[in-house]
Amino acid sequence: MGVFSEPKNLAVGDWILIPNEGERPLRILDRESVLIRKAAGKRTNDQTIAANVDTLFIVMSCDQDFNVSRIERYMALAFEAGITPVVILTKVDLIDDTDSFKQEAQALQKDLRVECVNAKDKLSLKVIRNCCTEGHTIALVGSSGVGKSTIINGLTDAEQLTAEVSVEDGKGQHTTTSRSLHLLNDGGILIDTPGIRELQLSDCETGIEDAFDDVMQFMMQCKFNNCQHETEIKCGIKAALESGELDQRRWENFQKLQNEQKLRDKPQYEKGRSRKQ
């Protein structure tokens, strides 16, 4: 058996084989999934957010943080890694109309699971408790201040640092600065991530196609295979936009995410050129 050497990208969620307590680890178990994003500010490096995740909780509060385009971005990230996304809408106790937020998120995909919670109320968290079964790993992502640590506190008995939030601007202070892993009594595992301000997708083409399966269907209706969805006749996208089946925002976000991918795949010097255009 080989000598254990820690790889550079050992990530939260990795499983390590240790023969007996206190002995040297033998090896890292093969990963079932890996959540990757493009490292902020760097052009080439990918950053592993977490390994062996089964479910991604996309946490968003029902206030100015709520943004469906950002949900779509996180969905693409999850689908690319083969992870099931669940949208958790928090701070429902602070608003009257929860349904409009829920409906907007639900409209993104028919079978997308969307749950509304008051993260400060353990009873309210009951709706997501069934995700935390034995052997199941959940990573929480979302802006800072939306309630990720509060959800973890509610689902575990541990006390994590949470930030006080100002009600007027809805912004929490940044308290979680590194990833952390929490074992639940019922056997599940929760992984907290620091609020990611600028989530750039790594290699994510199929993830985007899965997150926008309706758009892919509309494209199949185009008369021409190389349709640019601009001036061509019998364009499935234009027809869907005109009929209202596809909304302009969703179409623009799809194009934005796809363009990020194209830019990512270009050699460095071409990236420089395309920025100047």
Ligand X SMILES: Nc1nc2c(ncn2[C@@H]2O[C@H](COP(=O)(O)OP(=O)(O)O)[C@@H](O)[C@H]2O)c(=O)[nH]1
Residues that bind ligand X (CB under 6 A): 90-91, 93-94, 118-120, 142, 144-150, 162-165, 172, 175-176, 195
Number of residue whose CB is nearest ligand X: 147
Please state the closest distance from residue 15 (CB atom) to Mg ion, in A. Answer: 24
Closest to ligand X by CB, 23 or 159? 159
Q: DSSP assignment, residue 18? A: -
- Residues forming contacts to Mg ion in the complex (CB under 5 A) are 148-149, 176
- Per the CB < 8 A criterion, the answer to whether 88 and 172 are in contact is no
- Tokens at 232, concatenated: 């061509």
Q: Distance between alpha carbon 153 and the CA centroid of its chain, in Å?
A: 20
The CA-based diameter of the chain, rounded to the nearest angstrom, is 69
Please state the closest distance from residue 43 (CB atom) to ligand X, in A. Answer: 28
Please state the closest distance from residue 59 (CB atom) to ligand X, in A. Answer: 6
Distance separating the N- and C-terminal Cα atoms of the chain: 55
| Token pair 């920025």 in the structure block, residue | 275
Closest to Mg ion by CB, 189 or 215? 189
Closest to ligand X by CB, 23 or 168? 168
Report the 10 Å Cβ neighbour count for 96. 7
Please state the closest distance from residue 196 (CB atom) to Mg ion, in A. Answer: 12
Pairing assessment for the beta strands 16-17 and 200-201 based on DSSP bridges:
unpaired
Closest to ligand X by CB, 109 or 150? 150
Amino acid identity, position 227: C
Closest to ligand X by CB, 140 or 237? 140
What are the residues whose beta carbons fall under 8 Å from the beta carbon of 103, sequence distance 6 or more?
none
Residue 195: name its binding partner from ligand X, Mg ion, none (Cβ under 5 to 8 Å by kind): ligand X
Please state the closest distance from residue 176 (CB atom) to Mg ion, in A. Answer: 3
